[in-house]
Structure formats: structure tokens, C-alpha cells
């Protein structure tokens, strides 16, 4: 259980951030050898090294406040990539093959997972209009209370998962949570009164809680800075697909 207790030990009383002193790397003395071969290598490494860019903050435009990539990428790196191209021009064939595998295994999977989850959230309103109100005996603000129970379960279980996120094998945890979420979602058709519906919806929100945090964390682990935005865009398409297809599927089923 070290992956749960170690992060809490670094916080005051378990939840208040504290100041951390990070030691600088120890510089290793390098013995210089006078030779022509070394001079050639050092000149090549300097030419291929990272480009540092210094900017004048006094001349900074006001709209740069909304540019989240202002301090992540320099002008040279930005010029090497076009916004309409999926891959960077500097990517090799092996890198593109790896990125394609990641897009299928991670980006596409996250898109489908977000679509199905948002489809379920939206279908509560469609089911309420389609006959769930009379079938379960919902009155007054019962629909709002059911939606609130989902949010409560979602918010409460996000907090512990933020600390356990780094120590869990997400390749097993996320599919297992999706299976549990699917079973509870299917069990909703057996509810007979509002209390049962609230309880199941609460746990549906609990099993869905880690999804957003985990997928964004995985994007940051596997993709570079200039690749994350496009993958997050595909991920967010799942939300809009859920909104667009919810009514169509409900109408077709009814």
C-alpha cells in the first residue's frame, strides 16, 4: 500500500501541500583532452542541442495570456509543425508507427469510453420522458436528486484516485472499472423505486470518476507536448457524440 501512503506523507495532515526543497544535480568534472576529434564531437553536439529562446515580457501582447503553449514550445519547434498535420515533420517512420499504435490503443479507446459514459448520462433525461417517471414512481425533484447522486459519487471518488493514480496498473484498472460500470448501468432496468435508482446511479458515478483523470494522465505519459492537444481533441469528441446520438438511439429504441 505504499503507493497510497507515500503521497500522503509528503503533505501536511495528509492534504495540505508543503514546500519542498529540490536539490540541484551534482556537476561532474570533465577532464578535457586536447584533440581534434573531441572538438568535432563537441561542435556537433552544440549544433544539435536544444534551442533556448529569450523573450521580452515588457512587449508581451495581452492575448498571449490565453496561449497555453507560449512557454512550452519555442518558435523553432512551432515552425516545424503544421496544425493540419497529424504527425510532426521530424517524426521518423518508427515514431509514426508507434504513435499510430498509441492512437488506436489509447486515443480511440478513450474516445469510445467517453462517448458511452456521456451517452449514459444524457439518457437519464430521455428515459425520464420516455416512461421511467411513471415506471419508477418519480415525483417532484426526484430526477434532479438522481442526477445529484451521480455527481456526488463522481466527485467523492475522484479525490482518493488522484493519489492512487501513479501506483496503479491503469491498463488493468481502467478496463475493470469499465466492466463494473457497465454491469451497474445494465442493472438500472431492474429498479422498482427511486431509492434503488439513486443507489445504483451513485455507484455508476463512482466507477466513472477516475476516467477523465486517468486518460489525461496517460496522454501526458505517452505523448509529447505538441501531440497532446490533438489527442485530447479526439477524446472530447466523445462528449459531443454522446449528446448527438443519445436522442437518436432513444427514439430508435422506443
Please write the tens of the pLDDT for every residue from 129-145.
Answer: 877 778 788 888 888 89
- 92 occurs within a structural domain: no
Residue 183 has a pLDDT of 92
- 38 occurs within a structural domain: no
- 141 occurs within a structural domain: yes
Q: How many helices (H) and strands (E) does the chain have?
A: 11, 0
Phi and psi angles of residue 52, each rounded to the nearest 5 degrees, phi first: -95, 135
| pTM reported for the whole predicted model | 0.67
Which residue would you say has higher pLDDT here, 84 or 210?
210
Please answer whether residues 170 and 216 qualify as being in contact, where contact means their C-beta atoms are separated by less than 8 angstroms: no
- 63 occurs within a structural domain: no
Residue 202 has a pLDDT of 93
Residue 76 has pLDDT above 80, yes or no: no
| Structural domain that includes position 240 | 112-253
CB atoms within 10 A of CB 253: 10
- 126 occurs within a structural domain: yes
Which residue would you say has higher pLDDT here, 94 or 246?
94
Residue 188 has pLDDT above 90, yes or no: no
Residue 50 has pLDDT above 70, yes or no: no
Q: How confident is the model at residue 7 (pLDDT cuts 50, 70, 90)?
A: low
Per-residue pLDDT, averaged over 57-64, amounts to 79
Residue 245 has a pLDDT of 81
The pLDDT > 90 percentage for the chain reads: 11
Domain total for the chain? 1
Per-residue pLDDT, averaged over 135-156, amounts to 87
Residue 28 has a pLDDT of 53
- 201 occurs within a structural domain: yes
Residue 138 burial class via C-beta count within 10 angstroms: exposed 0-12, middle 13-18, buried 19 and up: middle
Report which of 186, 173, 88, 189 is spatially closest to residue 136, judged by C-alpha positions: 189
User: Taking the CA of residue 77 as centre, how many other CA atoms within 13 Å lie in the half-sphere pointing to its CB?
Assistant: 15
- 190 occurs within a structural domain: yes
Per-residue pLDDT, averaged over 112-119, amounts to 87
Residue 40 has a pLDDT of 42
Distance CA 168, CA 174 (A): 10
Please answer whether residues 243 and 118 qualify as being in contact, where contact means their C-beta atoms are separated by less than 8 angstroms: yes
- 136 occurs within a structural domain: yes
State the average pLDDT for the chain: 78
Which residue would you say has higher pLDDT here, 170 or 247?
170
Q: How confident is the model at residue 108 (pLDDT cuts 50, 70, 90)?
A: very high
Per-residue pLDDT, averaged over 186-214, amounts to 88
The pLDDT > 70 percentage for the chain reads: 75
Q: How confident is the model at residue 29 (pLDDT cuts 50, 70, 90)?
A: low
Amino acid at each position: 500500500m505504499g503507493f497510497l501512503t507515500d503521497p500522503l506523507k509528503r503533505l501536511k495532515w495528509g492534504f495540505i501541500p508543503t514546500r519542498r526543497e529540490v536539490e540541484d544535480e551534482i556537476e561532474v568534472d570533465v577532464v578535457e583532452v586536447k584533440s581534434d576529434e573531441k572538438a568535432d564531437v563537441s561542435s556537433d553536439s552544440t549544433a544539435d542541442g536544444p534551442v533556448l529562446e529569450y523573450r521580452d515580457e515588457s512587449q508581451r501582447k495581452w492575448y498571449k495570456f490565453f496561449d497555453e503553449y507560449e512557454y512550452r514550445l519555442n518558435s523553432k519547434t512551432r515552425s516545424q509543425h503544421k496544425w493540419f498535420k497529424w504527425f510532426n515533420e521530424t517524426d521518423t517512420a518508427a515514431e509514426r508507427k508507434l504513435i499510430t499504435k498509441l492512437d488506436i490503443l489509447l486515443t480511440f479507446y478513450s474516445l469510445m469510453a467517453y462517448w458511452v459514459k456521456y451517452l449514459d448520462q444524457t439518457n437519464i433525461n430521455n428515459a425520464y420522458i420516455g416512461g421511467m417517471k411513471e415506471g419508477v414512481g418519480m415525483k417532484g425533484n426526484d430526477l434532479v436528486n438522481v442526477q445529484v447522486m451521480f455527481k456526488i459519487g463522481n466527485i467523492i471518488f475522484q479525490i482518493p484516485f488522484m493519489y492512487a493514480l501513479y501506483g496503479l496498473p491503469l491498463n488493468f484498472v481502467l478496463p475493470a472499472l469499465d466492466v463494473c460500470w457497465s454491469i451497474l448501468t445494465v442493472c438500472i432496468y431492474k429498479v422498482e423505486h427511486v431509492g434503488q435508482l439513486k443507489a445504483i446511479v451513485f455507484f455508476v458515478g463512482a466507477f466513472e470518476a477516475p476516467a477523465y483523470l486517468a486518460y489525461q494522465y496517460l496522454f501526458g505519459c505517452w505523448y509529447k507536448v505538441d501531440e497532446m492537444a490533438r489527442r485530447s481533441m479526439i477524446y472530447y469528441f466523445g462528449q459531443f457524440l454522446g449528446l448527438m446520438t443519445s436522442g437518436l438511439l432513444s427514439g430508435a429504441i422506443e
